[in-house]
A and B are shown apart, each in its own frame.
Chain A
Amino acid sequence: MSDREMALAIDAAAAAVPGVRRVYRAPAGIGGAARLLLQRDDEPLSDVRGSRATVSIGVQADAPAQATAAAVAAAVQLLVGPEVEVLVRVGRIEG
């Protein structure tokens, strides 16, 4: 499976986790001044390169954000396998 296909699969898996409102496109890895964008084309939102997968999400406020993010991390880790480093970024918490 290519990185792009994996990223699309991650988008779907993340979106399916209860409490996730939407998935954003954002830079990979820990960063600063990131700008999160919604999808504007068919390209995947999550970022997968070899040994790291990054997914950025907006969560609903009815569950604590960290727990939701952790659930997403677990779901994504299942997809990518134990060798890949997973980063989940909460970009938005909807009241």
Chain B
Amino acid sequence: MNDDIGGSGYSLDDLSAYLDRGRTPAIAAIDRNPECQALLDAMTRFGALSHELVDRDGAEQPPSPGWLDGLLDTVAQEVRAGRDLPYTEGLVVTEGAVRTLVREAGDAVPGALVGRTRIREEGELTRIEIEISVLGDRPLVAVGDQVREAVADALRRHTPLGDAAIDVTVVDVHLADGADG
């Protein structure tokens, strides 16, 4: 397409590529030309409307609620196990089981939601690193301490990591109505 848009010296192909480059570096002949600007605006607008169209399709023609159940069951059945951690001769627990335990212990603390959990060996010492999100109106340090205590308890009861160092980091604050989501 070699059409010259509004006498700017640039074609529609050029404008299209200019748009996708983020209009940088700026080209004065395009930026100052009303017909070029009108076309660039139209391209932008119909692009945004396309996104809105798909959003609308998704909201108004939702799939049947159960369509993902089979898939999610399959996913839930596969356990990410990770390394084996020894209790004693012939008995081990997987890292994955420990992470699930940590997550459930932390989640049970009011106002806390566990995010990422990591288990690190530092020589003789094991360190558990936990990231949590705290409900907005709760005192962050207190919740963090409660999580540490709950996790320490669960680890002592079920795993060989009862003496592990536990680091809890509040990485996020969330609101009850999901407004910051």
Contact = CB atoms under 8 A, between A and B. Distances in A.
Contact between A and B in the complex (any CB pair below 8 Å): yes
Contact of A64 (B84, B97, B158): B158
Given A34-B84, A87-B92, 16 more contacts: A33-B81, A33-B83, A36-B81, A36-B94, A37-B77, A37-B78, A58-B97, A64-B158, A65-B158, A66-B160, A69-B91, A73-B90, A88-B92, A90-B91, A92-B97, A95-B104
A58 to B, nearest CB: 8
Contacts of A10: none
Given A66-B87, A66-B91, A24 B79 contact: yes
Interface in B72-115: 77-84, 86-88, 90-94, 96-98, 100-101, 104-105, 108
A9 B175 CA distance: 51
Nearest to A40: B77
Interface string A28-50: 00111111111000000000000
B80, B86, B90: residue with the most chain A Cβ atoms closer than 10 Å: B90
Nearest to B86: A30
Contacts, number: 92
A58 B104 CA distance: 15
Nearest to B157: A64
Contacts of B160: 66
9 contacts: A30-B92, A31-B84, A32-B84, A33-B82, A66-B91, A66-B158, A91-B79, A93-B158, A95-B100
A32 B83 contact: yes
Interface of B: 77-84, 86-88, 90-94, 96-98, 100-101, 104-105, 108, 157-160
B159 A26 contact: no
Contact of B90 (A34, A86, A95): A86
Contacts of A37: 77-79
A90 B82 CA distance: 12
B158 A89 contact: no
Contacts of A69: 87, 91, 93
Contact of B100 (A34, A73, A93): A93
B94 A90 contact: yes
Contact of B91 (A34, A36, A88): A88
A33, A64, A88, A91: residue with the most chain B Cβ atoms closer than 10 Å: A91
Contact of A65 (B80, B86, B93): B93
A74 B108 CA distance: 33
Contacts of A90: 91-94, 97
B79 to A, nearest CB: 4
